[in-house]
């Protein structure tokens, strides 16, 4: 079980299925079939040849970095090009986390674009000049959305194959486990379609120079960590409200960037978001697996902070003390007062 959970590190939806399977008291025969089926799919999915699909491109996709390795990741890495991320500690306790070191080459990567489109679309991100302007932020949002599309695509692909295999088990289709599993696939498909619409709208804006993403930039205390978070708060395909949140560092300046669609619904949501304490909880606690730390930053974190970060967010209540500690340690204590631009 632990081995499978480790192998499906990039498939949160499938990990949830595994854990649910483990605690759902299915007959052992069916438990074994579920696990063997997932084991069979994982290597096939890793070897799958993903395609670019940008503007219908059918060329093979190369590994792209959602956060530029050259412009940002390498700038805070140690001499061995190592950074730290937070991952589930399946070996010791699957309900907690641990800090894991990774090479910059393997952080925030996904097979999103062919070599030509990756270079043509994102050359400005990789040769960053230090100016966080509208073009930079819209292109960063385009890359982030493509990564989300890829993650949903591979999740649905594995889930559909598992569904087909499960249907070979006698009477499985009448079980609560199977019904619940199938019901969870449809929302994933709907969100994938919505992500494709969001992607196209951002790209169309870049093509016409009528940028779709507007943004707020906050100066925060210089700190050697990064993150990229995408939240889709859209109500349906007609009311799109994606939110893109980045913490980036260039030279001795740290920026918190929040991008969103230029419409009434998105603007209302983002203002409510900024006025609440939800921001710190979402960025640092709930989305902790998106954080990327330098060795220096991790070493300077207090033991209290590390303990908070390694807790399971679903099992431990996030207290006001936790909130204050994280806000201070991650340099966000004064960000509401440091608005640089509001476009």
User: What is the average per-residue pLDDT within 85-102?
Assistant: 83
Share of the chain above pLDDT 90, in %: 47
Alpha helix stretches (DSSP H) within the chain? 2-7, 12-23, 28-47, 74-76, 115-126, 134-166, 176-208, 264-274, 278-280, 295-300, 303-309, 320-329
Give the 3-state secondary structure of residue 148.
helix
User: What is the average per-residue pLDDT within 95-121?
Assistant: 93
More confident residue, 159 or 336: 159
Q: What is the pLDDT of residues 42-77, one digit of tens each?
A: 555 554 558 899 999 999 999 999 999 999 999 999
Q: What is the pLDDT of residue 47?
A: 45
Q: What is the pLDDT of residue 340?
A: 42
Q: What is the pLDDT of residue 212?
A: 92
Give the 3-state secondary structure of residue 9.
coil
Give the 3-state secondary structure of residue 284.
helix
Angle at 341 between CA 274 and CA 132, to 5 degrees: 105
Angle at 310 between CA 309 and CA 314, to 5 degrees: 90
Buried b / exposed e over 288-317, threshold 16 CB at 10 Å, is: bebbbbbbebbeebeeebeebbbbeeeeee
Least confident of 54-68, 267-281, 299-313: 267-281
Average pLDDT across the chain, whole number: 83
Q: Where are the domains of the chain?
A: 1-49+122-208, 68-107+212-343
292-293: strand order across its sheet: 93-103, 82-89, 292-293, 225-232, 242-250, 253-261, 213-220, 339-342
User: What is the average per-residue pLDDT within 71-84?
Assistant: 96
**Cα–Cα distances in Å, from 18 out to 8, 12, 165, 175, 285?**
10, 10, 15, 16, 23
Supply φ then ψ for residue 294, to 5 degrees: -80, 160
Q: What is the pLDDT of residue 5?
A: 47
Residue 237 has pLDDT above 90, yes or no: no
Tokens at 268, concatenated: 């209302």
Give the 3-state secondary structure of residue 143.
helix
Residue 20 has pLDDT above 50, yes or no: yes
More confident residue, 24 or 343: 24
CA distance 80 to 70: 15
This prediction has a pTM of 0.83
CA distance 100 to 197: 35
Tokens at 116, concatenated: 């030509």
Tokens at 249, concatenated: 């560092």
Residue 40 has pLDDT above 70, yes or no: no
**Cα–Cα distances in Å, from 338 out to 72, 196, 220?**
22, 34, 7
């Amino acid at each position: 079980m632990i081995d499978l959970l480790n192998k499906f590190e990039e498939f949160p939806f499938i990990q949830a299925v595994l854990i649910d399977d483990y605690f759902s008291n299915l007959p052992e025969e069916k438990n074994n079939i579920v696990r063997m089926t997932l084991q069979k799919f994982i290597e096939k999915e890793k070897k799958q040849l993903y395609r670019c699909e940008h503007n219908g491109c059918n060329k093979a996709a190369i590994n792209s970095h959602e956060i530029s390795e050259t412009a940002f990741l390498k700038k805070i890495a140690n001499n061995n090009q190592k950074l730290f991320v937070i991952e589930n500690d399946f070996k010791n306790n699957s309900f907690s986390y641990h800090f894991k070191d990774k090479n910059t080459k393997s952080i925030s990567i996904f097979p999103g674009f062919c070599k030509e489109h990756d270079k043509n679309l994102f050359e400005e991100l990789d040769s960053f000049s230090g100016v966080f302007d509208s073009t930079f932020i819209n292109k960063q949002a385009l890359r982030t959305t493509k990564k989300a599309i890829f993650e949903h695509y591979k999740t649905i692909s594995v889930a559909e194959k598992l569904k087909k295999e499960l249907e070979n088990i006698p009477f499985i289709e009448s079980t609560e486990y199977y019904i619940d599993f199938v019901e969870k696939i449809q929302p994933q498909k709907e969100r994938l379609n919505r992500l494709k619409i969001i992607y196209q709208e951002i790209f169309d804006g870049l093509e016409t120079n009528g940028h779709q993403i507007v943004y707020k930039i906050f100066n925060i205390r210089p700190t050697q960590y990064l993150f990229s978070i995408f939240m889709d708060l859209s109500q349906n395909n007609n009311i799109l409200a994606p939110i893109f949140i980045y913490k980036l560092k260039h030279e001795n300046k740290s920026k918190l960037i929040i991008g969103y669609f230029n419409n009434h619904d998105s603007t209302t949501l983002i203002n409510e978001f900024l006025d609440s304490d939800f921001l710190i909880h979402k960025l640092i606690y709930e989305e902790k697996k998106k954080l990327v730390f330098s060795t220096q930053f991790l070493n300077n974190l207090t033991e209290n902070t590390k303990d908070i970060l390694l807790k399971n967010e679903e099992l431990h209540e996030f207290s006001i003390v936790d909130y204050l500690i994280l806000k201070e340690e991650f340099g966000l204590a004064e960000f509401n007062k440091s608005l640089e631009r509001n476009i």
